[in-house]
Amino acid sequence: MEKVVNPITKKTANGRSYRVFVKIKFDDGRLSITGVEGPLQSGDCLGSCGQIADELERDVSQYMPGWDAEKLNQFVQVWRKWHLNDMHAECIHQEERGENWAKNPGAVCPQCGWKLGYGWSSREVPQDIIDWLFALPEAEEAPAWV
């Protein structure tokens, strides 16, 4: 499943308005979310691209139809929690304890034996999150790229 949304518009320093687009892709249990600020036909863009979750909450010029500050905030939280759900360096127990590579390199989980940072573990995205994401309003226009 794949969907492109356009939650907000922003303005350049010179006052030029541009749209922000985000592609949501869920395939074979893996969630991927990427975005672009003001994509241009040349392949360039007027802002950032890729993991722009932080940028979505900065300098919003206008919310697009079906979007508001609350929905955008919820979207950003879902993005941060579930993007690349199949690429966790830690097991679920280590995640719950707040262990990470920077603080605990190579730590071994006493509950399951997972060695932190020596492979990828996965988290299943709840169906209600998938349903919510794919119920978001579609972008009204197609971006040059996303």
pLDDT digits (tens, 9 = 90+) for 89-120: 999 999 999 998 889 899 999 999 999 999 99
* pTM listed for this prediction: 0.90
12 and 24 in a common domain: yes
25 and 12 in a common domain: yes
Share of the chain above pLDDT 90, in %: 92
* Least-confidence region, from 36-45, 54-63, 79-88: 54-63
71 and 35 in a common domain: yes
Name the domain count of the chain.
2
38 and 6 in a common domain: yes
Find the domain containing 102 and state its range: 88-121
128 and 102 in a common domain: no
SS (H, E, C) 78-108: HHHHHCCCCCECCCHHHHHHCCCCCCCCCCE
